[in-house]
């Protein structure tokens, strides 16, 4: 038996003993160390994904940990190896896979959503999902590799180039990571964020920011770009107003990269797309190259992962951590420490 955080029903989580499977052929048993709580996990917690998530469900896909045991036929891994997991399992036969886009397989198993996740003391996964971590990288920092891989993929999808001017609408964890990755690519970056706490953190990281309530953001972009408009905008807020801002700040032939999940259709100013020959691209998940680049960025300090971690809690306190994240603005990333020997349950 092992302790796990399980989703039971809308707004109901429990930390309790749970069964886990021993590694079979091609599988590896891991001891998760730290697991981040992300926006998708919050959507599950709110009951918004009940059509997809079968309760009771172990959550978590942003993780770091170590190999405990390897199953038959697994080579290249041994107990004690530090790893993170690219939590994707694809079928290899659908049209998306056959065209080389396995990360958006039409029958994708996103581990931690569609199948049991990392928020437990033992976790068995396919060896093919493992990403090696350097020994010098602290495991709490390494838990931010997965969201950094998201940012690497997003910046790549938007084809951000050195010298370009980039506006990131939404300064939560993924928005800040996108801004940092875009800056590392040589872009000039501005972050648009409502929360004073998150704007302050962005400024501490050397990222200029705007308050969309206090400032006319499209006008600020015109001043910044001397009337040209931004080359790239990332919509990371998930709000209708954020979509409008992301469209309005773009210059001629600008690129809008849609990162946030919008659960309902949004009105979009298509005339502006026509008038300025704008491009809209979607960005979802990542591939192995994105993950490996993310490991390097976190390991060399380009991504100051420690500055983004607001709090670390033991498994037993994970349910309360979900509630704390609902407030949003004053918290960035909360990690669940799976190494603690906590007993009992909470809901």
Whole-angstrom Cα Rg for the chain: 20
Spatial separation of the C-alpha atoms in residues 171 and 160, rounded to whole Å: 18
Spatial separation of the C-alpha atoms in residues 182 and 231, rounded to whole Å: 12
Residues that are catalytic: 40, 43
C-beta neighbour count of 204 within 10 angstroms: 10
C-beta neighbour count of 132 within 10 angstroms: 14
Spatial separation of the C-alpha atoms in residues 241 and 235, rounded to whole Å: 10
Spatial separation of the C-alpha atoms in residues 119 and 60, rounded to whole Å: 5
Does residue 153 come out as left (phi exceeding 0), alpha (psi in the -120 to 50 range) or beta? alpha
C-beta neighbour count of 105 within 10 angstroms: 20
Q: 307 exposed, middle or buried (CB, 10 Å; 0-12, 13-18, 19+)? A: middle
Task: Tell me the sheet residues that pair with 190.
Answer: 167, 208
Residue in 13, 346, 4, 331 with CA at minimum distance from that of residue 172: 331
- HSE of 79, CA atoms in CB hemisphere, 13 A: 4
Inter-CA distances, 219 with 95, 225, 242, 275, 302, Å = 44, 10, 15, 18, 31
Residue in 254, 238, 256 with CA at minimum distance from that of residue 246: 256
């Amino acid at each position: 038996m092992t302790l796990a955080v399980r989703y039971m029903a809308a707004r109901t989580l429990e930390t309790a003993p749970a069964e886990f499977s021993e590694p079979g052929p091609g599988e590896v048993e891991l001891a998760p160390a730290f697991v981040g709580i992300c926006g998708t996990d919050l959507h599950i917690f709110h009951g918004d994904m009940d059509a997809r998530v079968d309760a009771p469900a172990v959550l978590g896909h942003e993780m770091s940990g170590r190999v405990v045991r390897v199953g038959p036929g697994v080579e290249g891994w041994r107990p004690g190896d530090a790893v993170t997991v690219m939590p994707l399992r694809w079928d290899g036969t659908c049209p998306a896979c056959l065209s080389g886009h396995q990360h958006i397989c039409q029958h994708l198993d996103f581990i931690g959503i569609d199948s049991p996740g990392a928020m437990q003391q033992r976790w068995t996964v396919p060896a093919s999902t493992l990403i090696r971590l350097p020994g010098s990288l602290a495991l709490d920092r390494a838990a931010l590799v997965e969201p950094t891989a998201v940012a690497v993929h997003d910046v790549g999808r938007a084809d951000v180039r050195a010298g370009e001017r980039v506006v990131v609408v939404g300064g939560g964890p993924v928005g800040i990571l996108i801004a940092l990755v875009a800056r590392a690519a040589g872009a000039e970056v501005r972050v648009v964020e409502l929360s004073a706490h998150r704007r302050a953190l962005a400024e501490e990281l050397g990222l200029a920011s705007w308050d969309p309530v206090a400032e006319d953001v499209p006008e600020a972009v015109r001043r910044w770009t001397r009337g040209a408009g931004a080359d790239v905008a990332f919509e990371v807020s998930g709000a209708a107003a954020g979509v409008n801002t992301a469209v309005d700040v773009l210059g001629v032939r600008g690129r809008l990269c849609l990162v946030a999940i919008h659960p309902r259709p949004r009105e979009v100013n298509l005339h502006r797309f026509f008038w300025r020959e704008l491009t809209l691209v979607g960005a979802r998940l990542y591939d192995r190259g994105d993950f490996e680049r993310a490991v390097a960025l976190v390991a060399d300090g380009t991504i100051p992962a420690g500055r983004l971690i607001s709090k670390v809690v033991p498994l037993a306190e994970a349910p309360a951590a979900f509630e704390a994240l609902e407030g949003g603005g004053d918290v960035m990333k909360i990690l669940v420490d799976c190494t603690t020997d906590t007993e009992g349950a909470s809901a």
